[in-house]
Structure 1
Amino acid sequence: MTGSLSLIYSTFGSEEEARDVAKTLLLEKLIACANHFPAILSQYEYQGKFHEDREFPVLFKTAPELVKPAGERLLGLHSFDTPAVLHWQVEASNPGYEKWLLGQLIKPPR
């Protein structure tokens, strides 16, 4: 199994926003797939205040060379002032799935 895929994780303030952002990234072929998870409870301190909010997590699947443009686009679309946009490299994946996923993406200039 090869490892030429990347994952991007973020959370959103509403399910609608999560769906809209994912759809935009899919249509622009910056990602090939978005997995939406049920709402979670996030607890954090921001600007000196404690927050406890319901958020909607999404896992975006893409190629390593598209992480930067996909992440920048995600930041531009996101409604949060300081959204979590986390990335990690996939170490191994099913070769057939990887071939399909990479085939769904734009081909970035080299």
Structure 2
Amino acid sequence: MNNEFLLLMTTCPDEASAKSLAHALVKKKLAACVQISSAITSVYEWQAEVCEETEFCLHIKCLTVHYPAIEAAVLQLHPYDVPELIALPVTQGLPAYFDWIKETTQP
């Protein structure tokens, strides 16, 4: 696959912000699909405190070439000061699914 595809992960503090971000990425053709999980519990350290919050996880399927634009959109639209954005290269998968990602994310 030559690292042509990425699976990005981020979290949002509520379902409304998760849906808003997901819709923006798909409408801009930056992502072919964004899956939003049910509520999860995240435990993390922030500003020297251990925090526990409910969040919604987003899995973003996209082309590597769109990462910079997705990062910019996440920074602009996300309610957190420092949002999670982790990119995992996708090296194998169903070729027809990869074709769909390519077709769906064309301007």
**Structural mapping, 1:12-23, within 5 Å:** 12-23=12-23
Report the TM-score, using the length of structure 2 for normalisation.
0.93
Q: One-letter code of the match for 2:53?
A: D
Q: One-letter code of the match for 1:44?
A: Y
In structure 2, how many angstroms separate the alpha carbons of the residues matched to 1:33 and 1:74?
15
In structure 2, how many angstroms separate the alpha carbons of the residues matched to 1:8 and 1:76?
17
- 1:46-95 Cα deviation digits (max 9, x unpaired): 01122100000000000011112112211211000111100011011111
Q: One-letter code of the match for 2:74?
A: L
**What is the percentage of aligned positions where both structures have the same residue?**
27
**Structural mapping, 1:12-91, within 5 Å:** 12-91=12-91
Structure number having the greater strand percentage: 2
Question: Shift of the alpha carbon at 1:4?
Answer: 2.6
Question: Shift of the alpha carbon at 1:97?
Answer: 0.7
Q: Secondary structure at the match of 2:34?
A: strand
Number of aligned residue pairs: give it: 106
Q: Secondary structure at the match of 2:29?
A: coil
RMSD: 1.2
Q: Secondary structure at the match of 2:38?
A: coil
**Kept in 1: contact 2:4–2:65 (CA 8 A):** no
In structure 1, how many angstroms separate the alpha carbons of the residues matched to 2:52 and 2:63?
33
- 1:18-38 Cα deviation digits (max 9, x unpaired): 001000110000111001111
